[in-house]
Amino acid sequence: MSHTKNLLATLLLLLTISPAGAQIQRKELHDNWTFRQAFRGVNSYPATVPGVIHTDLMDNLIIEDPFFRMNERGVQWVDKEDWIYTTRFDLSSDMLSKDSIRLVFKGLDVYADVFINDSLVLQANNMFHEWIIPCKHLLRDTGNELRVYFHSPLKVDIPKFMALPFVYEAGNDQSRLGGVFHKQVSVFARKAPYHYGWDWGPRLVTMGIWRPVYLEAWNSGRIEDVWLRNRTVSARSATIDVDVELNMHTPQPATLRVLNAETGQVYATTTVSNTTTPTSLSFTIRNPRLWWTNGLGEQYLYPIKVVLESNGRVLDEQTKNFGVRSLRLVRDKDKDGTGTSFYFELNGHPVFMKGANYIPNDNFLPRVTRERYEAVVRQARDANMNMLRVWGGGVYEDDMFYEYCDKYGILVWQDFMFACSLYPADSAMLESIRREAVYNVKRLRSRPSMALWCGNNEINDAFFNWGWKTRHERRSPEGTAEFLWREYEAIFHELLPEVVNQYAPHTTYWPSSPLADWNTETQCYTQGCVHYWSVFHDREPIEAFAWQSRIPRFMSEFGFQSFPMFPSVKNYAPYERDWNITSDVMLAHQRHPRGNQLIRSFMERHYRVPEDFETFLYVSQVLQADAMRVGMEAHRRNMPYCMGSLYWQLNDCWPVASWSSVDFYGDWKALHHFARHIFEDVLVSPYEANDTLTVHVVSDRLQAFRANLTVQIMDFSGNVIFEQQQQISMPANTSRLMFTMPTEPMLRGQAREDVFVLVTLEERGQAPVTNVHYLMPQKDVNFPKATLQKTVEPTDGGYLLTLRSDKLARAVYLSIGEPGNFFADNFFDLIPNQPKAIRVRTALSQQEFEGRLRIMLLNDI
């Protein structure tokens, strides 16, 4: 009987707080939009909102797709024009009768005058936050007009550029391609810097209503913000603090209730006594289910609902999925005084950060769907990553991105949107930056995935070490360098840390990446975080990735370029005349001025350079993956001295030769397949230096384990030249040297170019962990002609493809001639006479699949 009473009480409670009782009404304003050119714009065309001007021009067949061949060059006129967007709408009498009505733009790109029924209500100047406009007094029941006039960012900002006696550094702004010569004006607009071009991206300076727009109406009161944060967390209990900001139209008695949205369990209740300051509550969860990063445990999220009630009515409610966890950045002095640690401690455990840098998924941001956001975060999860760095030259991402990071256990290193440039810091700009920072810090602060706020990308290092300071001391008016550094400090050492400290004091602020420490001029390898680019940009040997002098405490950026594979290239370069890396089309999709030259020079050092275009693309990916493997494994081997390896970069914003591991079409490059293996929770890492072969075992697990380690040297037919087995006891969460031996005695007279090293770790109940190592550069290895046998068996959703080779098959690439991650593994080494089964996801018939299946090997070059 008591059980029935409890059930009825829960049902009554859920009915009391149901969304149907809430008094907030919302009307999306996404329909019936048109746009026209402001100057002599006679004709109007249908527009899509959210959207940007370029996609609307494409939809109306006014411009061609800028991503196709060299079309980018032909659309540079678009950002020199002003554009007007207009829609009309009616309102219900119920909505119009509400006490409060406001217009909300979640994002305007960037300089926009907003008119409601011909009344100017807003002059927007920042892409990175929402705009809220009270407007009840301007609305009527029928025939309302909403008009947005977008000013050309170039026309607004060029006069600012011309008025200065010096030039703000903005080297990635491709102003010459944009037809404005040396006028690099991107720094004057609080707008995504990458829109002006980068060394992996096009110059497409967009304008538009790029995020949702809607009307909100209510009578009595509403919840403006809910901030959830972990005060104390242990396996036995967690204390959660809740701050709620309210907007009460009229004073009235009201109650705030905090509960579990799934179970109905009420955590805390309070009466509202003051609506001008946040109302604070706290509650305790016994034996909480903790939130862990990918690979360490479950990503449990508590559905916390906050309900505002008055006189038995629900006025408003918000629900947040909240992860119970403790997280801190640990920076302790080394015992010997030589450096300072830099690692993240989650739920009391140091965690090695495995991941990548993340850029926007498209130059036309409204095209990024929920499905695409989930896909890119899932690709990080599937590659065994646990952190993504949201780079500072893009945007503060959509809530959907962080939602999936919460879901899949991916921590976020979040840059503020400043990158590789110096920025003005006059009072108006500082106020705009402050509003931007407050909005985004508050928006993201309750998410378990939020790990760190970083002021900027590379500006501190650039000022002192890229020649900026010296150049301004020599060429600009006296005092300019000091003035620019003072502006830097005003933004990154004063304003932004103040915002984080006030609105998210539980999250660490770090001024710049790379950086050794606050108020230092450069990066270093004994403390802080490092960006290491000497291998690719400065032609240091690939082996330098593993030099002990190049191992930092935390690698927040390093990379190596490659091309997309041929099926992807054919999407933007479909004609045979384009199929050369020096064709005009391929050069248009290679934005690094020396990218092609660097790829070829490294390929000549390490590989046999193929003659044909398709095979060159393939070898470029093997080169990229092999190079990055050297760095990623070295970082993990040096755990816990080094506690992070975030490579540049995960994804692309358009089809291009770049440092990405997943191309614009979502196709995994060789690097992403390699990363999946290198970032597994247990890694075996063979490495040779000074004619000595070593093997480290690295474990991210929080428990110790025992396993059998086998080190073999084989010839390419699979004959064992050397073998040693040993039982190992692997401690939790660390790296251990488990094998070391001079190489020459192990070869037993065999030539280095005729053998390979195979290391296998076997643990009861677990799949074997393996790794392959070569003792010579790939161009000097005598890879034999390999004969592959294959069998295909139907399975749910595709096929099981089993391959067997009589000889070692190096970097086996499988394709069916179109972009897509059809194969569960790819670019792998096939050990002689050891079958490998690969799951294939495809809707092709078996006959079609087998007919289209292509296999490429490094052996055949």
Helices 370-382, 399-408: inter-axial angle, 10-degree rounding: 30
Look up residue 406 and give its two tokens: 């919460």
225, 237, 275, 461, 722 from 280: Cα distances, Å: 12, 20, 11, 41, 67
Q: Residue 788 in contact with residue 855, Cβ under 8 Å?
A: yes
Neighbours of 54 (CB within 10 A): 22
b/e string for 219-237 if b means 16 or more Cβ within 10 A?
Answer: bbbbbebbbbbbeebeeee
Sheet with 411-415, edge to edge strand ranges: 508-510, 450-454, 411-415, 387-390, 353-358, 644-647, 555-558, 530-532
User: Tokens 């595709």 — which residue?
Assistant: 798
- φ and ψ of 442, to 5 deg: -65, -35
Q: Residue 208 in contact with residue 366, Cβ under 8 Å?
A: yes
CA pair distance 335, 332, nearest whole angstrom:
9
**Catalytic residue list contains 458:** yes
- Residue of 527, 526, 523, 493 lying closest to 510 (CA atoms): 493
Which residues is 311 bridged to in the sheet?
Answer: none
- DSSP conformation class of 129: S
CA pair distance 192, 195, nearest whole angstrom:
6
Look up residue 206 and give its two tokens: 């967009």
CA pair distance 91, 117, nearest whole angstrom:
14
CA pair distance 426, 423, nearest whole angstrom:
10
Q: Residue 779 in contact with residue 607, Cβ under 8 Å?
A: yes
Asked if omega into 731 is within 30° of 0 (cis), the reply is: no
Q: Which element (helix H / strand E) includes 60? A: none
Which one of the listed residues 169, 317, 458, 487 is annotated catalytic? Answer: 458
DSSP string, 201-260: EEE----B--S-EEEEEESSEEEEEEEEEEEEE-SSEEEEEEEEEEEESS----EEEEEE
CA pair distance 155, 162, nearest whole angstrom:
11
- Residue of 709, 742, 737 lying closest to 723 (CA atoms): 709
Catalytic positions are 458
